[in-house]
Structure 1
Amino acid sequence: MAPPSGAQIETAKDAALKFLWDARSLHTWKNISKDQYLKAGLVAAEAYAFFMVGEIIGRRNFVGYNVKSVEDHHAHH
């Protein structure tokens, strides 16, 4: 694995801008098949799952953050 080259970054930027420009057109959305919508939904679900796993790892807990109450904070001072 290596970082992308300048040409690869430019190509990706151009593709993203074209996608955003085309997404403004209703005609573009009508030409998308149900299979493509399903694939996009699965990619979105996968991205959300990775985000949630990252959150769990970051907080080192499945539920919420370990936040001390105001009373606990004042009791230690």
Structure 2
Amino acid sequence: MAAIPGLINSTIAAARPKFAIFMKYAKVELAPPKLSELPQIKAGIGKLLSSAKSGAWRDLTVKQATLNTLVGAEVLFWFYIGECIGKRHLVGYDV
């Protein structure tokens, strides 16, 4: 029992630098887009639509296609988690 406070203090001291790095990246990566970034977003969506119409998606490498599929799956999973949180149930709505 006497070693527990020392163990807790050493754990906190070891985690502090890693938490600082996490916060550094979280402030940048998890921030919503700024108004100055909206033209870049619009251009990216236009480029995506034009490449879909022209069939440029057929020229992707397997690595790029796998990465795109994983990103799409991540978006769908986060949407589903948000829906579950919003309705407060895994299946159906509480009417």
TM-score, normalisation: structure 1: 0.68
Q: Unpaired runs of 5+ in structure 1? A: 68-77
Matched to 2:35, the amino acid is S
Q: CA RMSD in A?
A: 1.8
Change (3 A) 1:14 1:49: same
Q: Larger % of helix: which?
A: 2
Q: Which has the higher contact order (CA 8 A, sep 6+)?
A: 1
TM-score, normalisation: structure 2: 0.57
Which ranges of 4 or more aligned residues in structure 1 deviate by more than 6 Å? Answer: none
Q: Unpaired runs of 5+ in structure 2? A: 1-30
Paired-residue identity, %: 34
- Is 1:57 equivalent to 2:85 in the alignment? yes
For the 8 Å contact 2:51–2:57, the answer to whether it is kept is no
- Is 1:15 equivalent to 2:44 in the alignment? yes
Aligned to 2:66: 38
